[in-house]
Amino acid sequence: MKNKHIALYISGGIAVYKAAMLARLFIKKGAKVRVAMTKAAQEFVTPLTFKGLTHHEVYTDLFSKHGSPVPHIELADWSDLAVVVPATADILAKMAQGIAADFVSTALLATEVPKYVVPAMNNKMWANPATRRNVAQLKTDGVNVLEPATGFLAEGYDGKGRMPEPEEILTWIEGTQASNFAKDLAGKKILLSAGGTIEPIDPVRYLANRSSGKMGYALAEVAQSRGAKVTLVSGPTALKAPKGVEVINVKTAREMEAEMLAHYATADFVIMAAAVADYRLAQVYEQKVKKVGETWQLNLVRNPDILKHLGELKQQQLLVGFAAETTELVKHATEKLRQKNVDLLVANDVSRKDIGFGTNDNAALLLTRDKAPQETGKMTKQQLANLIYDRLLELAKERE
Ligand SMILES: Cc1cc2nc3c(=O)[nH]c(=O)nc-3n(C[C@H](O)[C@H](O)[C@H](O)COP(=O)(O)O)c2cc1C
């Protein structure tokens, strides 16, 4: 926060008084704060409060007779981050639609820096489908939105819509900012595989596994936010890829292998997070197989070992493999590290219910050739992704 230029946009909700405390917290952290208020916001607290706190005129008027001739662009360009607190249903709608109707909405439309929006409103306004659509649109546009808290509303009853306390808002912004601002993967090309592959049996049946794709998608999201150029080769999954990531959808192990090889030569970091089926049918049935016998035996043949193949072809790439084990984690993972010629192996114990397949958390053992295994402890898949990139950057540095 130190010396950061924060543009604080205040719209007209009952929680405006909390924005004054947030402004003070920013200033205490060493940030420089300038405030813009909507007409409605000034009905709740006068600009004088914010002028006193920030030692700067408050922007209220798009066509001001004083100061800069284009004040909304002046504020937009001056800022390193934009914070909208409290954000009314109205300003969310304007931002989602790109409406520039007054000083605040126009300056926000002209702002390219990261935006942090803290909605606060009546629970029925928050639940309204129009507000839901606007919030979803803002998130798609890359705006950071803090969910309102559930609690006692100004209306005198409990509901979701209350603005979180200023300290919580500050912690949220600092946390989100840390990942937004560290662009230490800029210039790196990262090739990822995610999800499980599926192997057809006949036109209606297939063999699958329990991979949700969450780890691979977290790796894509984190790499993207740290500035990398990301190509994600994904098996079928319900997940939505982060904006800006090149996604190549595949179904079978052989399709995945072909795409990984096609993008391998120019990649810097290559991470095989997909759960690739080890076997496929020797021959896929062309027609749906009728259920006739009491038993049915399928003839399976080995699929290509993509990770091993990538290990054999390795040049400048740093290669990462995942090992999902249910027994003797360290032993199996160490063997895999050597056999597949990978630089970093992420081993999980998938027999644990609280981590691994389908969950939001993970706990892994990170193995490299010449360092002792590092136990990560339980953390979110995003945190683990960050740790993996930190280790890869270290390995890349050691090579220089
Ligand atoms: C007493 C009072 C409290 C209000 N509180 C909120 C609120 O918490 N959130 C909200 O979205 N709108 C609230 N409104 C409605 C907004 O002030 C109104 O929609 C206004 O047009 C918002 O304008 P702005 O987005 O330009 O600030 C409140 C209105 C009144 C009269």
Q: Within this chain, do residues 203 and 161 fall inside the same structural domain, yes or no?
A: no
Domain, as residue range, for 136 = 5-181
**Residue % of the chain over a pLDDT of 90:** 69
Nearest to 201 by CA among 250, 256, 252, 275: 252
Instruction: Give the nearest ligand 1 atom to 94 CA.
Output: 25
Q: Within this chain, do residues 117 and 169 fall inside the same structural domain, yes or no?
A: yes
Q: Within this chain, do residues 385 and 236 fall inside the same structural domain, yes or no?
A: yes
Cβ within 8 Å of residue 130, ≥6 positions away: 93
Q: pLDDT, tens digit, for every residue of 222-243?
A: 999 889 999 999 999 999 888 7
Q: pLDDT, tens digit, for every residue of 176-218?
A: 776 555 688 999 999 999 999 999 999 999 999 989 999 999 9
**354 marked as part of a ligand binding site:** no
Q: Which of 162, 181, 200 is the last residue of a domain?
A: 181
Q: Within this chain, do residues 225 and 320 fall inside the same structural domain, yes or no?
A: yes
Distance from C-alpha of 389 to C-alpha of 149, rounded to nearest angstrom = 33
Which SS3 state, helix, strand or coil, does residue 279 take? strand
pLDDT at 345 over 60: yes
Nearest to 114 by CA among 87, 94, 141, 137: 141
Q: What are the distances in angstroms from CA 140 to CA 129, 194, 300?
A: 16, 21, 42
Q: Within this chain, do residues 171 and 198 fall inside the same structural domain, yes or no?
A: no
Q: Which of 181, 207, 237 is the last residue of a domain?
A: 181
Q: Within this chain, do residues 226 and 156 fall inside the same structural domain, yes or no?
A: no
* Number of domains, the chain: 2
Task: Give the model's pLDDT for residue 67.
Answer: 72
Q: Whose CA is nearest to atom 7 of ligand 1?
A: 13
Tell me the two tokens of residue 118.
């803290």
Q: Within this chain, do residues 159 and 244 fall inside the same structural domain, yes or no?
A: no
Task: Give the model's pLDDT for residue 183.
Answer: 82
Task: Give the model's pLDDT for residue 358.
Answer: 60
Residue among 8, 38, 90 to mutate when testing ligand 1 (max atoms within 8 A of CB)? 90
Which SS3 state, helix, strand or coil, does residue 334 take? helix
Task: Give the model's pLDDT for residue 151.
Answer: 75
Q: Which of 181, 204, 222 is the last residue of a domain?
A: 181
Torsion of Cα atoms, 258 then 262 then 268 then 272, to 10°: -10
Q: Within this chain, do residues 149 and 197 fall inside the same structural domain, yes or no?
A: no
Task: Give the model's pLDDT for residue 359.
Answer: 66
